[in-house]
Amino acid sequence: MPNVNTPDLLVIGGGNAGLCAALTAADRGARVLLLEKTSAAWRGGNSKYTRNIRVAGPEYTEDEFLADLVAVTGEGIDRELAALAVDRSRGAAEWMEAHGARWQPPFRGTLQLARTNRFFLGGGKALLNVYYDRAVRAGVEVRYRAEVASLRLANGRFSAVEVDLPQGRREVSARAVVVASGGFESNLEWLRRYWGGAVDNYLIRGTSANDGRLLRQLLDAGAMERGNPRGFHAVACDARSPRYEGGIVTRIDSVPFGIVVNREGRRFADEGEDLWPKRYATWGRLIALEPDQLAFSVFDSRVRERFIPPLFPPYEADSIEGLAGQMKVDPAALAATVQAFNGAVDPDLPYDIARLDGCGTRGLQPPKSNWALPIDRPPFFAYPMRPGITFTYLAVGVDRTARVLDGSGQPLENVFAAGEVMAGNILLNGYVGGVGLTIGTVFGQIAGEEAAAYARAG
C-alpha cells in the first residue's frame, strides 16, 4: 500500500461510527485510512439497516432523553458518557446535514418516533453512501476486503495493525487508531458462551461481519471491560427469516395488536405494557427466554391492517384450532389461552393504539395492560417469532475523549473506540429506538476530533 504507509489515523470499520470518525478527522486535515472488512457492496455494518437517529431538541429535552436511556438500561450505565452522548446529540443533525444527509418525514404507520428521532432519507445505506462519497472527496482512503488481523499495542500505545487484504497480509502503522468495528453478534460461538444452545434459534438481523475480533483483542490486551456480556438489542423477528442480514423487514410489529404465546400455547408477558416504540426491543429477549426460543404473535381480522406487514404472510385459519395446527402448537392449549384472554377483556373500554388507552384485561396473568381487544373475528392469524439480535452490549470502556481505558481506568494514548464496540458503556439492557446511531455519530465525531488532534500534535 504505497500511498498509505503512514496515515495519521487508521479507522477500523466502515459503519456509521467509523465514517463519522473518518469525516471528522479529515475535516481537521488528518490523513485517514479506513479499513472496511467487507466488499463495497456489503459495506456499512449494521448502519445500513438503520433509518433514524435519536436526538435531543426543542421538543425532546436532554433531561427526557437521558431519563429514557437510564430507564431502559438501569444500573451500570455510565451517566457521564450517557449525558455526553445526549448533549452532543443536539448538534448531530446539523453535522449530518453538513455532510450530505437528507431527511424525510417519519413514515406512515411506523413507530411513534417523530418527536424523538430524525429520519434520514432512504435509510442507513443511503446515508452511508453519502458519507463514503464525502469521505473519499475529503481525501480519506478507503480499503475494502481489508480485515484487521491484529493490533500492535505496547505499553498502552498503538503502533500498527496487521491487515489481511486481497493481495495478502500487510502491516500498516499510524499515529492513532479508531476502532469502530462493531459488537460480536455475528459470532455464534461467542454468543454460545453466554446463551448455550439457544443461540441456534437466534436470528442475527444485521450484518454477518461483526465477529468481535477487535473487541476480543482489546479486552485480551487488558482494556477495561464494560457493558453486559448477555446484553443485546434484540427484537422479535419472523422465524422464517434468513439467519443473517434480514434487517427491518423481518421485524414483527403486530405484538400490541394481539397476544403472544409460546410453543406451549401459553402467554408469558404483557403485550400492552407500554407504547410499542418503548417496548419493541424487549421482545427479543423475552422470546430468547422461552422454550426453543419460539413464540407467536396471534391476532384476528379486526387488527389485520393496522400495522406494517412484514416480509412473510402470517399463518391464517378460520378457527383458533386450525391456526394452532399451522403453528404446531397444541390446539386445546391455544384455544384455552385465547378463551381466557377474551374472557378477561372489557369490550366497553375505549381503544386507542396511539396512546396508553387503559383498555386492559381484568384478572389475567400476565395481564395485557392496554389495547386488549378480543380475538374473535376470523380468520385468525399468527406470526412465528424468534429473537432477532441487532447488536451486543459487551464493550471496551472509554473516557470522554473516546479513548479506550485500560484495566485500571487509565486512557490509552492513541487508541479510540466508537459505535457498538463501546455502546455498552451506555447500553446494558433494553433499547430506545435510534440511540445506536446517536452513540455511533457522537462518539465517532469525538474519536475523529481527538485522534486528529493527537496525530497533529505528535
121 sits near other proteins (criterion: CB under 8 A): yes
Region for 141 from its dihedrals, namely left if φ exceeds 0, alpha if ψ lies in -120 to 50, beta otherwise: beta
**Region of 104-112, 153-161, 295-303, 424-432 interacting with other proteins (CB under 8 A):** 104-112
Angle between helices 331-344 and 320-327 (to 10 degrees): 130
* Dist. CA 382–CA 262, nearest whole Å: 12
Going edge to edge, which strands form the sheet with 168-173?
147-154, 157-165, 168-173
CB-nearer residue toward other proteins: 310 or 411: 310
170 sits near other proteins (criterion: CB under 8 A): no
List, in order, residues 6 or more apart from 394 with CB less than 8 Å away: 183, 184, 212, 215, 225, 226, 227, 228, 229, 231, 424
* Dist. CA 192–CA 210, nearest whole Å: 15
CB-nearer residue toward other proteins: 304 or 368: 304
Residue 244: strand, helix, or coil: strand
Residues 305-324 that bind other proteins (CB under 8 A): 308-311
The distance from CA 112 to its chain's CA centroid, rounded to whole angstroms, is 18
**Region of 40-48, 273-281, 355-363, 379-387 interacting with other proteins (CB under 8 A):** 40-48
114 sits near other proteins (criterion: CB under 8 A): no
Beta carbon of residue 335, minimum distance to other proteins (angstroms, whole number): 29
* Dist. CA 149–CA 37, nearest whole Å: 10
280 sits near other proteins (criterion: CB under 8 A): no
| Cell numbers describing residue 436 | 445506536
Omega of the bond leading into 366 within 30 degrees of 0 (cis)? yes
CB-nearer residue toward other proteins: 4 or 249: 249
**Region of 47-55, 90-98, 177-185, 393-401 interacting with other proteins (CB under 8 A):** 47-55
- Tell me 381's DSSP state: E
Residues 322-381 that bind other proteins (CB under 8 A): none
CB-nearer residue toward other proteins: 247 or 397: 247
Binding-site member from 31, 37, 48, 403 for other proteins (CB under 8 A): 48
Which helix (H) or strand (E) is 324 found in, with range? Answer: helix 320-327
403 sits near other proteins (criterion: CB under 8 A): no
**Region of 241-249, 263-271, 333-341, 422-430 interacting with other proteins (CB under 8 A):** 241-249
**Region of 124-132, 228-236, 357-365, 411-419 interacting with other proteins (CB under 8 A):** 124-132
| Cell numbers describing residue 116 | 424523538
277 sits near other proteins (criterion: CB under 8 A): no
194 sits near other proteins (criterion: CB under 8 A): no
CB-nearer residue toward other proteins: 111 or 426: 111
Binding-site member from 13, 124, 367, 440 for other proteins (CB under 8 A): 124
Q: Which ranges in 235-281 belong to alpha helices (H)?
A: 276-279
Angle between helices 124-137 and 16-27 (to 10 degrees): 30
CB-nearer residue toward other proteins: 133 or 346: 133
CA angle 396, 17, 146 (to 5 degrees): 90
94 sits near other proteins (criterion: CB under 8 A): no
Beta carbon of residue 103, minimum distance to other proteins (angstroms, whole number): 8
182 sits near other proteins (criterion: CB under 8 A): no
* Interacting residues toward other proteins by CB under 8 A: 41-42, 44, 48-49, 51, 102-105, 107-110, 119, 121-126, 129, 132-133, 242, 245, 247-249, 308-311
